[in-house]
Amino acid sequence: MDFRDFGNALLGKYKEVSIIFPDHSDYEAARQLYNRMHNLYPSMIIRTLNQSALKELVHYVAINNIELAIRGGGHHIAGFGSTQGGILLDFSIYRDVGIDEENRIASVSPGARLGDVDQALCQKGYVIPTGTVSDTGIAGLTLGGGIGWLLGTYGFTCENLVGADVLLASGEIVRAEDPGHEDLLWALRGGGGNFGIVLEFRYALSKLPRVYCGTIEVLGKDIEGVLNSLIVYLGKHCPSNLVVAPVLQNLGHDRGCCLSIDFCLSGSEDHMEIIRLEEYLGLPQKHLFLTSDFVSWQSWSDERFAQPMRGYWKSVCPDAFGEEIWSSLLKWIERVPGSNCSITIEHLNPSRRLETRVDSALPIAEKNYGILFSARWLTPSDDLEYMNWVRGAVESITSSQRCSSYSNYTFEGENDDQAARVIEGGRLVQTKQKYDPSNVLRRNHNIHRDTL
């Protein structure tokens, strides 16, 4: 049965199914991904949460060896939220968030964005720690990890996942929190979309803490000294309830380089820790308070990322963050090819956020730092220049030490960590073997040996 016959058969059987074929007027908009580097044309786009229809879909792609892409928010930089010629299962219109206050659990549909989750939970005094740009999908974010402003207080997003309804490649639907599926729940926490199609995510609800959010801006020649002190502060003093994200940018000829030390202090009665930080950096009274409204802070960076552009990102998670690293970052930020390039340091603070730790498949859970090199631009003819900037900057670090990388920020085939985990075998590979031995779900950072 060809795609169209299969699609039409589903439409005839299930009224909750909608399908967009390539000749439909909605197709062009529906196929687009956040990262415009990926210009992919699926053979059809299916939208449904009907379990019987989804079982038929999985059976169809499995027996015909068709690539199936699953889209949550469509933000993965590698373009995993679509496929060239395969079938796109597009969950992006399913954005419900339910709250079970008695059991303190949030049930989240697979197309929900971080903003949907914050809007629904925060007004009731709850929160799930997520990421920092509100249009990002919570599905991909969770399956790959989830780094955000409440990391120190409540951990990675995936560490808060307590259950999920999962459609397996076999066609069976299971609850990941049920006895016998501990391995599945573990793997969904940071192991990617390898193990099943998640139809609903369930998270532990946490209390929305009081927050104090803002930034410290440093320009020009002061950056080097401040960065040096900041790294010492982060390593030795930064408490778990303070998440600091220093971002290096180049503002162009007139203004030069800029370091914005964005921060979110949570669960504190006062902002003394920010004053301590300023003093440590030799920048008394330099911080700019921006908001104490967590929902606003969660979308504070939205504008910077609003326009879909071409993008290339890479991340490295070094064990040690010495002078040779930050001086290299300063060199590379001076050489940016365009204004939409940045280097963000993510402080993961593993030793001080001990109490939030949950067993997960996330390879970077024990790392001290992540460094995200991000380049965004508009014109295809500039691709190489921007990509080479990111690659050169990354190599300047990885040439002297072995680094892990964060899969949510990494292109296909460039996640050495994932590849190493597949080669080494172990728990993740065994879990893939148990739940998807034929690798039906492979449009992700795939952990199946055949894809290496």
Ligand X SMILES: Cc1cc2nc3c(=O)[nH]c(=O)nc-3n(C[C@H](O)[C@H](O)[C@H](O)COP(=O)(O)OP(=O)(O)OC[C@H]3O[C@@H](n4cnc5c(N)ncnc54)[C@H](O)[C@@H]3O)c2cc1C
CB of 176 to ligand X, least distance (A): 11
Residue 38, interface with ligand X (CB under 6 A)?
no
> Binding of ligand X at residue 42 (CB under 6 A)?
no
Q: Is residue 71 a contact point for ligand X (CB under 6 A)?
A: yes
Cβ(93)–Cβ(160) under 8 Å? Answer: no
Our finding on whether 139 is near ligand X (CB under 6 A) is yes
Contact predicate 190/158, CB 8 Å:
yes
Residues 192 to 251 in contact with ligand X, rule: CB under 6 A:
193, 197-198
In whole angstroms, the minimum distance from the beta carbon of 101 to ligand X comes to 25
Binding of ligand X at residue 190 (CB under 6 A)? no
Closest distance of CB 222 from ligand X, Å: 27
Query: Site for ligand X (CB under 6 A): which residue of 7, 115, 129, 140?
Result: 140
Q: Is 3 in the site for ligand X (CB under 6 A)?
A: no
Least distance CB 288 / ligand X (angstroms): 21
* 408 lines the binding site for ligand X (CB under 6 A): yes
- Least Cβ distance, residue 379 to ligand X (angstroms): 19
Residue (75 or 367) nearer to ligand X, CB: 75
- Residue with Cβ nearer ligand X (294 or 305): 305
Single out the segment in contact with ligand X by CB under 6 A; choices: 66-74, 357-365, 375-383, 431-439: 66-74
Q: Tell me if 191 contacts ligand X by CB under 6 A.
A: no
Strand order in the sheet with 369-377: 288-291, 211-219, 257-266, 242-250, 341-347, 369-377, 310-316
Q: How many residues bind ligand X (CB under 6 A)?
A: 35
Contact predicate 283/226, CB 8 Å: yes
The residue to which tokens 């027996």 are assigned: 63
Residue 333 as a binder of ligand X (CB under 6 A): the answer is no
If one asks whether residue 189 binds ligand X (CB under 6 A), the answer comes out as no
Instruction: Closer to ligand X by CB, 7 or 146: give it.
Output: 146
Both tokens assigned to 311:
């993008």
CA 239 remoteness from chain centre: 24
Q: Is residue 81 a contact residue for ligand X (CB under 6 A)? A: yes
- Choices 50-58, 133-141, 292-300, 431-439; region in contact with ligand X by CB under 6 A: 133-141
Would you count residue 421 as binding ligand X (CB under 6 A)? no
Six-digit token string for 275? 């004053």
The pair phi, psi for residue 73, each rounded to 5°, is -100, -5
Interaction of residue 163 with ligand X, rule CB under 6 A: no
Q: Which is nearer to ligand X, 131 or 163 (CB)?
A: 131
Q: Which residues contact 433 (CB under 8 A, 6 or more apart)?
A: none
**Residues binding ligand X (CB under 6 A):** 34, 70-77, 80-81, 91, 110, 131-133, 136-137, 139-141, 143-148, 193, 197-198, 305, 408-409, 443-444
